[in-house]
Amino acid sequence: MHPLQGLTVVALEQAVAAPFATRQLADLGARVIKIERPGVGDFARGYDETVRGLASHFVWLNRSKESVCLDLKSEDGQAAVRELIRHADVFVQNLAPGAAERLGLGADELRAVNPGLIHVSISGYGAGGPYSGKKAYDLLVQCEAGLVSITGTEEEPSKVGISIADIASGMYAYTGILTAVIRRRQSGEGATIEISMLEALAEWMGYPLNYAAYGGTAPARTGARHAAIYPYGPFRCGDGSLIFLGLQNEREWRVFCEEILDKPELAEDPRYLRNSLRVENAGDLRDEIERAFLGSTAPDVAAKLEQAGIANALLRDMHGLAAHPQLKARGRWKTYESPKGTLRALVPPVTMDGLDPVMGPVPDVGEHTTAVLAEFGIVAAAEQARA
pLDDT per position as a tens digit, 149-199: 999 988 999 999 999 999 999 999 999 999 999 999 999 999 999 999 999
The pLDDT value given to residue 219: 86
Burial of 113 (0-12, 13-18, 19+ CB in 10 A): exposed
Does the pLDDT at position 4 exceed 70? Answer: yes
How far apart CA 13 and CA 35 sit, in angstroms, is 7
Rounded to whole angstroms, how far apart are CA atoms 254 and 222? 24
What's domain 8-204+328-386's architecture? 3-Layer(aba) Sandwich (3.40)
Q: Are 95 and 121 in contact (CB under 8 A)?
A: no
Stretch(es) of the chain classified as CATH 3.40.50.10540: 8-204+328-386
- Overall average pLDDT of the 132-140 stretch: 92
Cβ partners under 8 Å of residue 143, min gap 6: 149, 159
Report whether 71 contacts 104 (CB < 8 A): no
Confidence of residue 381 (pLDDT cuts 50, 70, 90): low
Nearest to 170 by CA among 61, 285, 298: 61
CATH 3.30.1540.10 range(s) for the chain read 232-314
* CA–CA dist 323, 203 (Å, integer): 33
pLDDT tens digits, residue range 256-305?
999 999 999 999 999 999 999 999 999 999 999 999 999 999 999 999 99
Q: What's residue 386's pLDDT? A: 61
* CATH no., domain 232-314: 3.30.1540.10
- Residue 1's pLDDT band, with cuts at 50, 70 and 90, is confident
**pLDDT for 221:** 87
Q: How far is CA 323 from the centre of its chain?
A: 21
